[in-house]
Amino acid sequence: MRQGKDKLQGTLEMLVLRVLASSGELHGCAISDRIADISAEALRVEEGSLYPALHRMEEAGWVTSDWRASDNNRRARFYSITRRGRKRVDQVQRDWLAHVEAVTRVLKQA
């Protein structure tokens, strides 16, 4: 079983990649806002976690980025998912769902 910090990083990566896969190109603040909106504010991704994760994902080849003007005409880095990132999110999502099913079985039997 993976250690707690690794699992949390994997969860953040999965959420970010899933949002990018469904929403297209977004800047960091919009990614965080989208996760909060979809989760009915149950999940808040702080900048201190999001940007290092985006950097790791870019280094891994799961996302690409470029600088542009945002809706409010400020310079922002926009992220998009790559083909490799789509494969990664599919794999991580399958693993996550299997993990949730296993935990649920234990909770129901304990």
Domain CATH for 31: 1.10.10.10
């965080």: which residue's tokens? 32
Nearby residues of 90 by Cβ (< 8 Å), 6 or more positions away: none
Choose among 94, 82, 31, 29: nearest CA to 58: 82
Distance CA 31, CA 10 (A): 16
Domain region containing 68 = 4-109
Model confidence at 4: pLDDT above 60: no
Q: Are 39 and 33 in contact (CB under 8 A)?
A: no
CA distance 67 to 78: 6
**Mean pLDDT value of segment 66-84:** 93
Query: Would you say the pTM of this structure is higher than 0.75?
Result: yes
What are the tens digits of pLDDT across the range 12-44? Answer: 999 999 999 999 999 999 999 999 999 999 999
pLDDT at residue number 72: 86
Considering its fold, how many domains does the chain have in total? 1
- Average pLDDT over the chain reads 90
